[in-house]
Structure 1
Amino acid sequence: MLLRAYAKVNIGLDVVGKREDGYHILRMIMQTVDIYDEIELEKLEENEIKIKCNLPYIPTDSRNLVYKAAELFKNKYNIKMGVLIDVKKNIPVAAGMAGGSTDAAAILKGLNKLFSVGASNQELMELGVKIGADVPYCIDGGTALCEGIGEEITKLPDFNNIILVVVKPPFGVSTKAVYNNLDLSKIRRHVGINNIIKGMERRDLKLVCYNMKNVLENVTIKQYPVIKAIKNDMIVLGAQGALMSGSGPTVFGIFDNMLSAQKCFEFMKKRYNDVFITRTI
């Protein structure tokens, strides 16, 4: 079985509180983009989970979210056969684009079909939240408002076919470290999530981009000023707006025409390896 696991960006990301267990309470708009990992699944007679990956530095044991998803699924539905999982990574790693989470979500959906279990998406989401906060969203993808720790998902009208240029600088960022360094008392202005949703519903890019904000930039840009430089360059090159996705370091720019997007892509490609022109889907 061949699967595609799609990346996401955050059109807005707000942190509105912190739970007693240390998890942050979020309010964010997630959006699927047309950048994806390719995953091949194959049943094995022996009861084990084997993982292959095209990137040598990705762990292929129980540290991998794909392994965790397969193990969780097999235990939950008492699957006594094994599975070989071959992952071809295209989504940048440690980039704020849910690469690991979307792979885990794809495994839950894929094994559900491969072993004819018949679990609903809701059941898979409840399993997924045990792996990571972004996994439930990645089960369905599309355009959604995610709240709580990411598991309270409200579908929004589609915001598809919007042109994006995506740039991942040459380093990864630890999501955990970013949240640990976030000082909630220093967030002066929260994100206009409701205004972003209005803009998306009207397909008014100016309204969306005016209200686009990610409070985690406060932490990540301090450590990596290049993120701010990429955002500024994108605006100069014709982006309607530019924002860091998730905990970073990936930056995306929203464009209203392909010509400007192409110019921005060519400019960025001379400076960075991981640069994409893509669309929301």
Structure 2
Amino acid sequence: MERTDRRYDRMEGRVQMVSEKAPAKINLTLDARYKRPDGYHELEMVMTTVDLADRIDLEDRDGSSITLESSSGLVPQDERNLAYRAAALLREKTGVRRGVHIRIHKRIPVAAGLAGGSSDAAATLRGLNRLWKLGLSGRELADIGAEIGSDIPFCVHSGTAVAKGRGEILEPLPAPPPCWVVLAKPAHGVSTADVFGRLNVGAISERPDTEAMAEAVCSGDFDRITGLLGNVLEPVTMGMHPEVGKIKRKMLEFGAEGALMSGSGPTVFALVRKESKAKRLVNGLKGFCRQVFAVRMLGKPIDSLD
């Protein structure tokens, strides 16, 4: 996982800027078991990362202000941004009084079911831990992130994991077998809250087998992984946005070994072994979907956090 220290203060020997890579995640399974008293759903998921990533630059500043800019006008550039909130909470928890300027170079589509905002926040926590020499462990950073968003603990560690609870209870898994991942996002975004609000847990007729998927990942069984893909939110989002279903059908028609909507959508991903087939899918999908990416499965954790 790429990390760089960009600039140093020669007088004080202090790092002035660091960069972190913020990879996208996909859900190999997503199951909502029941509605919890706190209003969240009890989840069981297998999540992994792909090699589509934002880059976060963190520049140390004198004073106490947190400022943020993004290459995308589709994300908030103030305290509504998860990366901004992560920096503010980290300062509150650690008593740091320094300021920071956050630059987000976006490549992950926005409101896409790929945890782009959560991954940006997680990268901000990791980067500020280095920039400010806080010495916090990955577990401590994940606990802080859990106060902001359910996907942030997974994104702090990255890699592959079974996630339960709201997504904060993690069981690490080895990386899935190498393959190509084709991602296609319709022009619209989707509100996660809207999708979960429409989910009727009692009416779910078919649930993914999270335990079997974890076993398939551990054994590196690509065919079994593609056969076990499942997401209980998929019918909900497809009912709201029929083009999500069209994308999935086209992926399978074009030869994908497996296809599934990620998270609450609307991005759909296809898994294929061969690069030639990934290119064929990209060419076929670009006819009716502008944001299409062919990337490699990543699935490895952030280096030496703990």
Q: TM-score range by the shorter chain?
A: over 0.9
Question: Which amino acid letter does the alignment assign opposite residue 164 of structure 1?
Answer: V
Task: Report the equivalent of 1:138.
Answer: 155
Asked whether the 8 Å contact 2:184–2:289 carries over to 1, the reply is yes
Q: Give the aligned length.
A: 281
Asked whether the 8 Å contact 1:238–1:261 carries over to 2, the reply is no
Q: RMSD between aligned alpha carbons?
A: 1.0
Cα drift, residue 228 of structure 1:
1.0
Asked whether the 8 Å contact 2:213–2:228 carries over to 1, the reply is yes
- Name which of 146, 158, 180 aligns with 1:163: 180
Q: After superposition, what is the alpha-carbon deviation per residue over 1:14-56, rounded to whole angstroms, capped at 9, x for unaligned?
A: 0111111111000000000000001111011011001011112
Asked whether the 8 Å contact 2:20–2:126 carries over to 1, the reply is no
Tell me the distance in 1 between the aligned counterparts of 2:243 and 2:198: 19
Q: Which runs of 5+ in 1 are unaligned?
A: none
Q: Give yes or no for the alignment of 1:222 onto 2:239.
A: yes
Question: Which amino acid letter does the alignment assign opposite residue 85 of structure 1?
Answer: I
Cα drift, residue 199 of structure 1:
2.0
Cα drift, residue 62 of structure 1:
0.8
Q: Give yes or no for the alignment of 1:254 onto 2:247.
A: no
Question: Which amino acid letter does the alignment assign opposite residue 251 of structure 1?
Answer: V
Cα drift, residue 205 of structure 1:
2.1
TM-score (norm 2): 0.90
Question: Which amino acid letter does the alignment assign opposite residue 37 of structure 2?
Answer: E
Q: After superposition, what is the alpha-carbon deviation per residue over 1:149-199, rounded to whole angstroms, capped at 9, x for unaligned?
A: 101100012115221110011000000111111001110121111222222
Question: Which amino acid letter does the alignment assign opposite residue 245 of structure 1?
Answer: S
Q: After superposition, what is the alpha-carbon deviation per residue over 1:100-141, rounded to whole angstroms, capped at 9, x for unaligned?
A: 000000011100000000011111111000010000000111
Task: Report the equivalent of 1:47.
Answer: 64
Tell me the distance in 2 between the aligned counterparts of 1:235 and 1:57: 30
Task: Report the equivalent of 1:275.
Answer: 292
SS at match of 2:230: coil
SS at match of 1:31: strand
TM-score (norm 1): 0.98
Task: Report the equivalent of 1:60.
Answer: 77
Spell out structure 1 runs of 4+ moving beyond 4 A. Answer: none
Q: Which runs of 5+ in 2 are unaligned?
A: 1-17, 299-306
